[in-house]
Structure 1
Amino acid sequence: MKKVCFLLPEGMVKPSSLFGAIEVFEKANEFCIEKGNGPFYELSVAGSGISQSLLDAQFMIQPGRHHLETLRPDIIVIPGLYEQDRYALDKNKALISWMVQRYAQGTELASMCTGAFLLAATGLLRHEECSTHWLAGRAFTNMFPDVYLRTDKIITAINGIYTAGGAQSSLNLVLYLVEKYSGRPAALYCAKVLQIDIERSSQSPFIFFEGYKKHGDEIIHKSQLYIEKNIDERITVEFLAGKFALSKRSFIRRFKKATQHVPVEYIQKVKMESAKRELEQSRKNVNEVMYAVGYTDRKAFRNMFKKVTGLSPVDYRAKYNSAFSGEPSGAAAPGR
C-alpha cells in the first residue's frame, strides 16, 4: 500500500488541484477493488489547514490529528498555491524542513501547478528541471534562478521529485503516478472514468507570449516595440543593434538581461504569437499567415510554429478556430 499525504501549507490553495488529485487516487483504489484487491492508496491530509473565501462562502479544511513528526508517507503531494512570494514561503518553514527530512528518508515529493514554489523552496530542485503554470513562470524564475524551469512541459520527474504545470494538468501528474505505482490499466481506468486526456505532455499550445517590458532599459524597450510593430519584416539582430547604435554583443547582452530572452528567440516568439492569433481568429490560409509574420520558407515556418506550440499550423487552427473545420484546398502544405 502506498501512503499518499496531501500537504496543506499556511496560506491559500487552489481547491481544484487538491480535490482533482484526490479523486484520481480514489478511482485508482476503486479499480484495485474491482480487480479483487484491496485499496492500494492510503490517503491523508496534513499540514496547517486552510480557511479562505470561496465566492460568498468560507472554505475550510482542518487536517486530521496527524503530527508531522510521526507521519511516514511514501509520497507528499503539494496542491497549487495562490500565494507565490517569499512571505508565503517564510510562513511555511516548518513544512519545508519536514519535506526535506522526509525526502532524505525515501519519501517522494510532487507539486501541482504553483505548488512548485513550496517544493523549490526546499532546495531539492536546484539545477534540476521543474514545471509550474506558465503564467507563474517569471515570478518563479526570479525567486529560484538556479532551477531549470520548463513551462513547456506538463510533467517533470527526476530522482523521486515530480512537478506539474497548470491546475488541470496536475491530473496528468497523478495519472503518471498511478501508472508508475499501479500499472497502465489502472491509469487508463482513471483517465476514462474522469475523462482526462492521458497523453497530454506539453503546455505549449496554451501559452501566450507577452514580452516583459517593465525592466527600465529604454533602448531595449524601443527595440521590443519595433519588433512587435514590424512582424511582417525579416528582422535580424545585426539590424536591431545598428538601429539602436549598439554593438551586436552589447545589444544581445542587454536584451537578454532585460527580457530573459536572447533577441533571436524573442523575435521568433513574437512572430509565432501573431501567427497563433491569426490562426485562431481569421480565415487566412496558412500561406497568408506565414507571409504576414515575415516568413517565406514553408518548412521553416512550420518547424518554428511546431517548436513553439507543439502543433502544426493546420492542427492548431483545427483545435482553436471554431470557424474552421479544415484548410481551403491547397493550403495545407505549409502546415503538414
Structure 2
Amino acid sequence: MLNIVVAGFDKALASAITGVTDLFGLAGVTWNLIQGQQPEKAFNVKIASKDGGPIHCINGLQIGAHMSFDDITEADAIVIPTIGGPIEEVVQHTPELQALLQRANQQGWTIAGNCTGNFLLAESGILDHKTATTHWGFKEQFQQHYPQIELKADQLITRSDNIYCAGGGLAWFDLGLHIIERQIGFEAAIQTAKAFVIDYRRDTQLSYSLMRLSKPHKDDLVREAQSWLEQHYAEQFTVEQLAERFSVSKRTLIRRFNAALEMPPNTYVQSLRIEGAQKLLEETERTVDVVMNDVGYEDASSFRRLFRKKTGLTPTEYRRRFARRL
C-alpha cells in the first residue's frame, strides 16, 4: 500500500484537503463495491500539519491532522492543497512546510501541488528552473515573484521530474487521478474517475480563464477605442480604418495598444470576438455557424482554429461543457 501525505496549513482550502484525501483513500474501494467485488485499498492517506494540531481552513472549518511534519519519515507522495487566504501572507507563515518540501525533494518523493498551493513549492525553491502551472487568475503574480520558473498557466497539469503541479480550483481531482495512473495504472485511474463521476484527462484550463481585456490603464485614446470596439467588434474593418476613426496613424494606434494592454488592436478584436462567441454558445441555441457570423467571422475553419487556440476547446465542446441548462 502506497503512503500519501496531505500537508495542510492554516488558511488552506478545506475541499482541496478533504477531496484529495477521499480520492486517494477510496481508490480501489468505491469502484469495487459498485461492482460487487472485494475492496482493494491502494493508498494509506494521512493528513499532516506543522505541529500535528488541527488545520484552520479559510472557510472556518478545522480539520484534524494525523501527524506533524516532523513525524513524516517516508512517503510515496506529498500533496500540497490550495491556498485559500492571502497568498503572500500564507507563504510568509509556512517555513516549516517549505522545509518539508525541500526534504521531500531531496528524498526523491513525489510532490504534488494544487492551484495556488504551487506558490509554496515555488517559494521553497524546489521548482527553480522547472516547469509549473497554477490558477490562471494568479499567472502574473506567480511570474512576477518567480521568474526563474517556466510557468505554463494554460496547462492543467505539469510535471518536472518528481514534481507535479495542477491548475486552478478543483484541479486536485485531475492531479489525484494522474498520480493514481502513474502509481497504480490507467485502469485504476479510470475506475476511480467513474466512481466519482468526474471527467478524466482534461489537459487545459484555457476555457475557464477570462480574457482579462479590462486591464486597468490610463491611456484615454485606447480607452475610447475599447469602448467603440465593444459595440462594433463584429463589423468588418482594418486596423488602418480603426486608426483613421480616432485620428491617429496605424503605427501610433498599435504602439498605444501594446503599451496599455500588452496586445495589438487586431489581437484585442479577436479576443473580443471569441469572448462574444463564448457568451452566445453559453446562453443561446444558435448554431456554431450562426454564432461565427454574429461575432464577425466568415471562414469556419479559421474561426474554429482560433476558438480552440483561445479556449482549448472546439466551439461544440465548449457549448457541451458550459451551455446553460434550462
User: Are positions 1:8 and 2:13 aligned together?
Assistant: no
| Cα-to-partner distance string for 1:21-57 (whole Å, 9 max, x where unaligned) | 1111112253899998974423222233422464xxx
User: Are positions 1:211 and 2:210 aligned together?
Assistant: no
**In the alignment, which residue of structure 2 is the partner of 1:332?**
none
Deviation of 1:274 (Å): 0.6
> Structure 1 residues 76, 309: closer, same or farther in 2, change over 3 A?
same
8 Å contact 1:272–1:305 — kept in the other structure?
yes
8 Å contact 1:219–1:244 — kept in the other structure?
no
User: What pairs up with 1:224-239 in 2 under 5 angstroms?
Assistant: 224-234=226-236
SS at the partner of 2:273? helix
User: Are positions 1:104 and 2:106 aligned together?
Assistant: yes
SS at the partner of 1:121? helix
Deviation of 1:16 (Å): 1.5
SS at the partner of 2:29? helix
8 Å contact 1:21–1:174 — kept in the other structure?
yes
| Range moving further from structure 2, 14-23 or 58-67 | 58-67
SS at the partner of 1:267? helix
Paired letter, 1:151: A
User: What pairs up with 1:74-153 in 2 under 5 angstroms?
Assistant: 74-153=76-155
User: What pairs up with 1:284-299 in 2 under 5 angstroms?
Assistant: 284-299=286-301
Alignment coverage as a number of residue pairs: 319
**In the alignment, which residue of structure 2 is the partner of 1:191?**
193
8 Å contact 2:114–2:165 — kept in the other structure?
yes
> Structure 1 residues 67, 320: closer, same or farther in 2, change over 3 A?
closer
Instruction: Give the whole-Å Cα distance in 2 for the aligned partners of 1:88 and 1:235.
Output: 49
| Cα-to-partner distance string for 1:206-249 (whole Å, 9 max, x where unaligned) | 3332314223444444443343332113455556667474673x
Give the share of equivalent positions with the same residue, in percent: 29
SS at the partner of 1:109? strand
> Structure 1 residues 52, 322: closer, same or farther in 2, change over 3 A?
closer
**In the alignment, which residue of structure 2 is the partner of 1:328?**
none
- Aligned Cα root-mean-square deviation (Å): 3.2
> Structure 1 residues 240, 122: closer, same or farther in 2, change over 3 A?
farther
Note the residue ranges of structure 2 that are not aligned, 5 or more in a row.
Answer: none
Among candidates 265, 272, 275, match of residue 274 of structure 2 = 272
Instruction: Give the whole-Å Cα distance in 2 for the aligned partners of 1:163 and 1:110.
Output: 6
Instruction: Give the whole-Å Cα distance in 2 for the aligned partners of 1:31 and 1:323.
Output: 29
**In the alignment, which residue of structure 2 is the partner of 1:302?**
304
Deviation of 1:290 (Å): 1.8
User: What pairs up with 1:308-323 in 2 under 5 angstroms?
Assistant: 308-322=310-324
| Range moving further from structure 2, 189-198 or 171-180 | 189-198
User: What pairs up with 1:249-260 in 2 under 5 angstroms?
Assistant: 255-256=257-258, 258-260=260-262
> Structure 1 residues 323, 17: closer, same or farther in 2, change over 3 A?
closer
Note the residue ranges of structure 1 that are not aligned, 5 or more in a row.
Answer: 325-336
Deviation of 1:135 (Å): 3.0
**In the alignment, which residue of structure 2 is the partner of 1:22?**
21
Name the TM-score, length of structure 1 as normaliser: 0.80
Paired letter, 1:2: L
8 Å contact 1:45–1:63 — kept in the other structure?
yes
| Range moving further from structure 2, 305-314 or 179-188 | 305-314
Name the TM-score, length of structure 2 as normaliser: 0.83
Deviation of 1:300 (Å): 0.7
8 Å contact 2:83–2:90 — kept in the other structure?
no
Deviation of 1:88 (Å): 2.1
Deviation of 1:99 (Å): 0.9
**In the alignment, which residue of structure 1 is the partner of 2:75?**
73
> Structure 1 residues 193, 145: closer, same or farther in 2, change over 3 A?
same
Instruction: Give the whole-Å Cα distance in 2 for the aligned partners of 1:291 and 1:78.
Output: 45
SS at the partner of 1:152? coil
Deviation of 1:75 (Å): 1.8
SS at the partner of 1:225? helix
Deviation of 1:2 (Å): 2.9
> Structure 1 residues 317, 167: closer, same or farther in 2, change over 3 A?
closer
Instruction: Give the whole-Å Cα distance in 1 for the aligned partners of 2:74 and 2:253.
Output: 53
Instruction: Give the whole-Å Cα distance in 1 for the aligned partners of 2:31 and 2:303.
Output: 48
Deviation of 1:252 (Å): 5.2
SS at the partner of 2:6? strand
8 Å contact 2:177–2:200 — kept in the other structure?
yes
Paired letter, 1:50: I
Instruction: Give the whole-Å Cα distance in 1 for the aligned partners of 2:249 and 2:71.
Output: 59
